[in-house]
Structure 1
Amino acid sequence: MIIEPAPVTNADSDDVLGIDPFLFGFGFAADGTATPLTWEDVISGQLTSYPRVWLHLNRLSRQAQGWLYRKSGIDKVAVQSLLQEETRPRSTRHGNGFLINLRGVNLNAGEALEDMIALRMWASESLLITLRSRRVQAARDVEALVKGGEAPASTGGLVAALANALTDRMEPEIAAFDEQCDGFEDEILDPSIRLGRATLSEFRRKVLALRRYIVPQREALSQLVREGSAAGFFTDTDVLYLRESVDRVTRLAEDLDAIRERSIVLQEQVMEERSDMMNQRLFVLSILSAVFLPISFVTGLFGVNVGGLPGVNSPMAFAILVGSLALATGIMLAIFRWRRWI
């Protein structure tokens, strides 16, 4: 069932919530010249004057949602897919266009890097709509290309540029995870540094959070290449760029798998070192208990308050007892040394 957003009222309007529906947009002429658009151009129907249009909208805006449902011309099932809360990377051909969900690393200040941000797209020959709820730096990277006069010559080219920009932003961050894993390995080899188990657990959690989306993103891009090529949506150059993105995302997924395996080995090493340390301490305690066992036995025996104990009236008895206990301790230590227990 399709559920359209309720009409915007003064109480829940975007102005009250501080949400701007329109982030940026461009209309492309036949010769590829890009003209910046405004939200007024969008709602007034000026988009039809351009052969191609790219709109970057805020998914949380009620105005943007209403425009998508009522005036964008996109099938309502597709709109609902674009606006749903939870998504995973995917690419699906829908009518005369493509529904594309991709993920990028979260580079926003104060937010977790591994909390990857969704970039949702509707792509057809004449229209590209991208939506996000939080800032996606890759979209701004492609915006800078368009403003610099280096805009791709087709909607498929824009999609390929966005996929490449997302991958460009991922690579240095995953490389940083690899370097961090190298640092953990060096710390384990340094006896003066104690690597906490909680540190490795948190590191593994971040790696798994990234891998959760990067692995299906590889499949989504591969499917996009297949279906887009079959539909003639991508030029040969676009396909080359997308295949390069698929290869790079595949390599990133493999790097994450390797980092995950290394972190598991590191955690096992930490656990093994702690177990060895505990066993060593228990061994020392066992040796001490064995050394002092004869002393404890003799002193306990002579501490019994009954008659008949030898040496009670002898002034040399205490010295003989202490000497005997010292001799027994020395013999025990000699036996342990001979058995190489100490």
Structure 2
Amino acid sequence: MKIRLVHNGVFEIIDQIEEAVKPPEQGFYWIDADVEDLVVLQPLFGMHDLAVEDCMHDEEQRPKIEIHESHYFIVMNSIRFDDEEIFLRALNIFLGRHYIITVTKQRINELRSLKPILLEQEVDRPDYFLYHFMDLVVDNYFLVSDRIEARIEKLEEDILMNTKKTHLNEIIGLRSEILWLKKVLGPQKEVIAALNKKELKLIDVKLQKYFGDIFENTVKISETFETYRDLMGNLREAYQSSIASRANEIMRVFTALTTIFMPLTFITGIYGMNFDYIPGLHFYGASYILLGFMLLVGLGMFFIFRKKDWL
């Protein structure tokens, strides 16, 4: 647990948590805590039992805002995009008049990126801290949105240039991630809307229009993900069309090969091998050589078809 006194964006480390219980002469306290620290923090700051229970719960919490007498409890989801996978990181926030407590189970990048912004903006109130943090969280959704768009464009190009069976799994997986993110954004949008429209005594009235700007950005992201969902449907149709076209091409090649060998098979079917002289007929081991040659021809055709992704 780290305790900081924040005044005009400047941090001062505090050693004793008891100092943060009373309002400072200037600025506010930012307590960056782990879940285990709530045992100490709850009696000092009068945290609601249900809020503490939500923080300790192992399952993902739905983004929400709870209004209590002395503080607000807010749950937000930070987003990360690592190794082509999307992760959500839950952040629990307790907002009071002279303090803000952030409780996390994983590392939140936005909290580290927030420090220079607080210094630049000379933040001196916990509600302004909350605003800048939420602004960073929503901005990161834009970054993830851009990376998803890049993945869609690359997948579309790969499907048009060289369709593979693995592309269908990529389409299904990416579409599931987009639907999941859109589902997460719904309640997160409601939280920001509440900060924008409700009259909250712990939020400066001047901040409401700024939260409104964040809300508009959240709506844009939600609409963008809706567009991505439609694009994934188009990609699936393009994949199916490409597969059908590829199957027709393969059948055309097979039909040509069959047509070429059909008269030869017809001729050998009539005459068979009933000739007085056949090269190698009396050669010892000729039958084994012929069988080996037939096996090589079969294997060669099999590998050629696999290389062309026909099988």
Of residues 113, 127, 130, the one that matches 2:102 is 130
Q: Give the whole-Å Cα distance in 2 for the aligned partners of 1:280 and 1:119.
A: 53
Aligned to 1:26: 5
Aligned to 1:80: 53
Name the CA shift for 1:112/1:238 in 2 (closer, same or farther; >3 Å).
Answer: farther
What is the DSSP-based 3-state SS (H/G/I as helix, E as strand, rest coil) of the residue aligned with 1:88?
coil
Aligned to 1:324: none
Contact 1:167 1:245 in 2 (8 A): yes
TM-score (norm: length of structure 2):
0.74
More RCO (CA 8 Å, sep 6+) = 2
TM-score (norm: length of structure 1):
0.68
Aligned to 1:101: 75
Larger Rg: 1
Gaps of 5+ in 1: 1-20, 306-311, 314-342
Shift in Å, 1:224:
3.0
Shift in Å, 1:302:
4.0
Shift in Å, 1:208:
3.9
* Aligned residues between the structures: 272
Q: Give the whole-Å Cα distance in 2 for the aligned partners of 1:25 and 1:219.
A: 30
Shift in Å, 1:80:
1.6
Contact 1:89 1:217 in 2 (8 A): yes
Aligned to 1:48: 22
What is the DSSP-based 3-state SS (H/G/I as helix, E as strand, rest coil) of the residue aligned with 2:45?
coil
Matched, 1:220 2:220: no
Matched, 1:254 2:223: yes
Shift in Å, 1:111:
6.8
| Counterpart amino acid of residue 156 in structure 1 | D
Shift in Å, 1:218:
1.3
What is the DSSP-based 3-state SS (H/G/I as helix, E as strand, rest coil) of the residue aligned with 1:115?
strand
Aligned to 1:90: 64
1:177-326 equivalences in 2 (<5 Å): 177-189=148-160, 191=161, 193-194=162-163, 196-197=166-167, 198-227=169-198, 230-290=199-259, 292-293=261-262, 295-303=264-272
| Counterpart amino acid of residue 26 in structure 1 | L
Name the CA shift for 1:111/1:87 in 2 (closer, same or farther; >3 Å).
Answer: farther
| Counterpart amino acid of residue 13 in structure 2 | L
Contact 2:156 2:235 in 1 (8 A): yes
Of residues 76, 89, 111, the one that matches 1:117 is 89
Shift in Å, 1:96:
3.6
Shift in Å, 1:246:
0.9
Query: How well do the aligned residues superpose, as a CA RMSD in angstroms?
Result: 3.1
Higher helix share: 2
Deviates more, 1:199-208 or 1:124-133: 199-208
| Counterpart amino acid of residue 73 in structure 1 | G
Name the CA shift for 1:45/1:54 in 2 (closer, same or farther; >3 Å).
Answer: closer
Q: Give the whole-Å Cα distance in 2 for the aligned partners of 1:269 and 1:127.
A: 54
What is the DSSP-based 3-state SS (H/G/I as helix, E as strand, rest coil) of the residue aligned with 1:26?
strand
Name the CA shift for 1:298/1:148 in 2 (closer, same or farther; >3 Å).
Answer: closer
Gaps of 5+ in 2: 277-311
Aligned to 1:57: 32
Deviates more, 1:120-129 or 1:179-188: 179-188
Matched, 1:146 2:118: yes
